[in-house]
A and B are shown apart, each in its own frame.
Chain A
Amino acid sequence: MIRRLKDMFSVLKSSPGRQLVVAYAHDAHTLAAVREAVSMGIVKATLTGDEQSIREICKMEKIDPGIFDFASAADEQQAASLAVSLVKSGQGDLIMKGTVSTDRYMRAILSKEHGILPPGALLTHVSVLDPVKYKKLLIIGDVAIIPLPGLKEKQVILNALISTAHSLGIQNPKVAVIAATEQALPGMPACIDAAVLSKMAERGQFKNAIVEGPVALDVALDTESAKIKKINTPVAGDADCLLFPNIESGNVFYKCHTKLLEGDVAAIVCGASVPAVLSSRGDSIRTKLFSIALAAMMTL
Chain B
Amino acid sequence: MNQIKTPDHPVTCVKRNCRTKTLTAADVFHKGLANFAGAELNGLLQGRLKPVIVMSGSESIISKFYCIALSVFIADHSI
Contact = CB atoms under 8 A, between A and B. Distances in A.
Interface string A188-217: 101000000000000000000000000011
Given A218-B56, A225-B58, A248-B20, A257 B28 contact: no
Q: Is the interface of A mostly helix, strand, loop or mixed?
A: helix
Contact of B35 (A218, A248, A250, A281): A218
Interface in B17-44: 20-25, 27-29, 31-38
A217 B1 contact: no
A244 interface: yes
A256 B58 contact: no
Given A253-B32, A256-B37, A179 B24 contact: yes
Nearest to A224: B58
Contacts, number: 85
B28 A260 contact: no
A253 B58 contact: no
Contacts of A134: 36
B72 to A, nearest CB: 25
A217 B35 CA distance: 8
Contact of A244 (B1, B20, B28, B35): B28
Contacts of B24: 178-180, 190, 244-246, 248-249
Interface residues of A, number: 35
A180 B23 contact: yes
Contacts of A65: none
Interface string A222-255: 1011101100000000000000111011111100
A295 B4 CA distance: 25
A152 interface: no
A40 interface: no
Contacts of B5: 281-282
A259 interface: yes
